[in-house]
Amino acid sequence: MKCELCNERDAEAAIHLVQDGEERELYVCRDCERQERLRRQKKSQRTRKAAGLPPGVSISVTRVGGDSAPPFIEALMDAVHGMVSDLEKAEKEKSARKAPEYKSFPCSRVDSAYRIGDALHLEGLHLIGELPAIHRAMRALDMRLVGKTADGVTETGHVYSLEYAGSTEQAKRVVKDIIAQERNARVRLFEEMPRVFGDSLCRALAILKNCRLLSPGEFFDLLSPLRLAAFEDMLEGVTLKEIDRWLADIDLSSREDKLEIEERDAVDAERADDMNRRFEDVVLNERAEEKFL
């Protein structure tokens, strides 16, 4: 029996083909059987049709290899390499730039209402949420506000020293602008945001009246909004002079961290007991109650 496909060689195997929508069994030679097997393998790997090919003819993309990649792959690889190169270049330039040398700006001549010691007191800007913007502006000017971190309290009391890398005249102008913004922030707290101001005062008083442990860093932070209230004559039972004296005497060096846990707790407990007694009769006065309550 001759091969039913080529009709030349003797049939040696049976295969199944779909012709005109019907499956038929054909007897074919070994060469035709091998060609049909290869055709089926190629068809099983095919995933998409090629545009512009005759009806019924398709090709498949099974791998990327050989001597050259398709154009879109090459373009993608070039883009990635270019991006990596740009990032490496930017990083090298950043590393090569010399870090600015900062100098400390003395704030001792600033109005006492806006400083504690030689540092700027920016509690108002903190309470209205403007300090992050101030920090960003300072970085853009090669300046920075350096706060104090003590006993786990970051930027305690929102008191900052100013450091600058440019001219002294520029630093003077910036300090003047910051003080103006702090002044406006305090006006906004009192006139437009009394709930925010009152909340910070009442929280501070509640803690000082009832805390069982009180670290120096936390004590300094709690006194900060009370100082603003004292300037506005809103407190009864404590004076601005007393608050300023406490702020000046608080040690923010975190040296108590060197003590054993039991010793540190004992020191914090004694401080808390002292402040519980001292603030027992400290309250918002009638002026503050009219504004906040």
Give the start-to-end residue ranges of the domains of the chain. Answer: 13-45, 103-191, 194-292
Q: CA–CA separation, 154 vs 117, rounded Å?
A: 19
Question: Cα–Cα distances in Å, from 287 out to 229, 232, 241, 249, 293?
Answer: 11, 9, 20, 29, 10
> Tens of pLDDT along 11-22?
888 887 777 777
Q: Is the pLDDT of residue 244 over 70?
A: yes
Burial of 235 (0-12, 13-18, 19+ CB in 10 A): buried
The whole-chain average pLDDT of the chain stands at 84
Does pTM surpass 0.85?
no
Instruction: Name the CA dihedral angle for 37, 41, 44, 47, rounded to a multiple of 10 degrees.
Output: -140
What is the CB neighbour count within 10 angstroms for residue 115? Answer: 20
Query: What pLDDT band is residue 275 in, cutting at 50, 70 and 90?
Result: very high
β-strand pairing of 13-19 with 22-28: antiparallel
Higher pLDDT among residues 276 and 25, named by residue: 276
- Spatial CA neighbour of 225 closest among 134, 291, 135, 128: 128
Q: Is the model's pLDDT at 24 over the cut of 90?
A: no
Contacts of 128 (CB under 8 A, 6+ apart): 185, 188, 189, 193, 196
Helices (H), the chain: 30-45, 71-96, 123-127, 131-140, 168-191, 194-210, 216-231, 240-249, 261-278, 286-292
How does residue 62 score in pLDDT terms, banded at 50, 70 and 90? very low
